[in-house]
Amino acid sequence: MKLSDVKEILDADVIVGTEKLDMEVKTAFGADLMSDVLAFAKAGSLLLTGLTNSQVIRIANVMDIAAIILVRGKKPPVETINLAKEFKIPLLTTKYILFETAGRLYTKGIVGCLEQVEDHRANN
């Protein structure tokens, strides 16, 4: 679906990237732990997170995340917004909690960027 559909489904506000709402997205990853985003998120995915500091943008940039959806109505600080503009990464915010955000997108066809982690990562 298009990012504009994501915005619609989540009743989200676009903070950065109104010009990129035509972008196609198919997968998503949700986490508040940036180490997990580094370990598991896939290029081209949406990142659903409740974290709003500039690390989110830098990680999204490094991992080629398509767009960031801030959940639980989070409003990012100005440094985060400026960095998102600099890296041209769309930044949206929705009032839905992470579970609802993921669920609403999933029922409309967005799937996880991976279903399960590999065994060696889960066993410890």
Partner 1 sequence: MAVWNKLKITVQTTETENYLYKNSFDVEGGNFNNAGSVSTNIKSILKNMGLPNNIIRKAAISCYESEINIVSYARQGVINLTVTPKTVEFDIIDEGPGIPDIELAMEQGYSTADRQIREMGFGAGMGLYNIKSSSDIFNLSSEVDKGTFLKIIINIP
In sequence order, the 6+-apart residues with CB closer than 8 A to the CB of 84 are 15, 16, 17, 57, 68, 76, 90, 91
Q: In angstroms, rounded to a whole number, what is the distance separating the alpha carbons of residues 89 and 116?
A: 26
In the list 2, 24, 26, 39, the residue contacting partner 1 (rule: CB under 8 A) is: 39
**Nearer of residues 108 and 121 to partner 1, judged by Cβ:** 121
Q: In angstroms, rounded to a whole number, what is the distance separating the alpha carbons of residues 56 and 37?
A: 9
In the list 11, 18, 19, 43, the residue contacting partner 1 (rule: CB under 8 A) is: 43
CB of 9 to partner 1, least distance (A): 25
Q: Does 114 sit near partner 1 (CB under 8 A)? A: no
Count of residues making up the chain: 124
Given the rule CB under 8 A, which residues bind partner 1?
A: 32-39, 43, 49, 51, 53-56, 58-59, 61-63, 79, 120-121, 124
